[in-house]
Structure 1
């Protein structure tokens, strides 16, 4: 028989004994020392231990216990007595039984508004199961804790969060006999970078310019760029939503507010810079430091070669 049998509550427990000779009798005992059942060539008997009453079945090779319960866990010992004609002596062996409640009701909770550079916490809970552990994945890849990511059972903390932390997260709660998975998407919100050296928006992004005016009746608005009309997307709207496609969309944008009764007007203007590449202060500093270190290494190599050549002379 195997040294360990694992089942979930409510299932049938089956201990199977492999025998190589004729058996005269086989008896099973629980860890309390109580004999559970006996099989002989002439029949079977059940000692009706209260815990197992009505759930036992024994044969020449098996002990079956129906509707497993958590308190059925423990060690069981079988004693086999061969027939006298085999010339063999009786022997015994123990098997450990572990019983688990199956995992149920797994739920993953993610924040509705995770913000870049802030603390982000995800939690995984379950309503049922014994000896449950949680495994975390992002986009189907196991998550490894590091200096930013802490995992403690059903809790995952990212501090600080980055925009590339966005994705599909899954938590699998499991024990030795069952598992359930819950999956949720995490969105990380972030502010636009302030580009060093100028630039308001990257090519491909949407920029919103807002124009306001106090007027009675309410003013209507129109937009121009370098003297050419620009559609705001909503007629007479004071908000211009511009999907950028190239740096050629840089320029001076003018909003004109018009009172339909007095015919009075007022204007507001914006200088918009659309750029291909945007580096913030930290990125620029990193580039400068990297370039300096690279130059320093080159200088040191040159000095080393000069010294080496002079010594050989």
Structure 2
């Protein structure tokens, strides 16, 4: 009977100890973390703790929570990288190292004085995470393959980013599982590509810089001290500077040709005092040693002793055209004047075959009548005066000039206003 009593007493005591012991709940006994990433060793506990502490795989106590205070052991590999959450006792490790892998022990003591301490072990597995780029030298227009390599067989979500912006598949970029495939890579595809792997315990990030080699593009030639001259662009004895640039990765090498002959290998040409010997065609040649491509641009340099600008030439042309128009006008007026003069001479020569006569205006009281019939078409009208002289009678109006002869007489002896002229 006594033995049964002591046995029962021991069972009751053990039950009391178990009730007093802190219950530690660990979601996962094995946790995966990427090297260089962050990880949380999660613990769930609903009992108020007086003391909590974590021990590393090397059996050193690295961090402790006691009586409301967190104490971190100094001068360890975890300095500045670990954080203990007082609410539940979870441990956060940042910038995980390969050497951080192993078994971590969490110890908890309840607030009840003299209560038992409970412990739990969590295993941390650290895996390598690398981003590789193939080929190592990507030439513009070729295909590139960027891969996220995980050195551990574990279920992880992978997220790709370029310069911090999440990537998505499109006609130019395809994301297939752990790879990014860039078709016909361009210079715009250069940047930092990162692969983020994550699970419920943490995440890891690895990145690689992608460099795309391109060019050289068509060189650009810049000339200084040039003039707006029609016959040339540089005045004699002036300084001339020419430079050549070309977009290229890596930067292209530059050399110059003058009239298709090697001139210099500098990026620029400086002429202190230009002369006619410097006139010619300057060709800039850009070469990319990685793409093995060349590109050229040519520029003419014409050194002249004087400069006629486009405005001056335009003024000369306008002046010449105005002079030509004036000359044509003068010639036209001269021709018209000569024609009128010639017509006047013809009329006077027609009258010169008849005897000259004196022109007398008819008097109103004269009783003398013309002795020539007005119907005559070949003889002018004459009248005989009392003194025996002959007088030529001119028709007074065009209407009275009834034949061709009288019309000619009228035109010859009248001015433009129809008045008689005394000139015979």
Q: TM-score range by the shorter chain?
A: 0.3 to 0.5
Structure with a larger share of its residues in strand: 1
The structure number with the bigger radius of gyration is 2
Structure with a larger share of its residues in helix: 2
TM-score, length basis structure 2? 0.30
Higher relative contact order (CA 8 A, sep 6+): 1
TM-score, length basis structure 1? 0.39
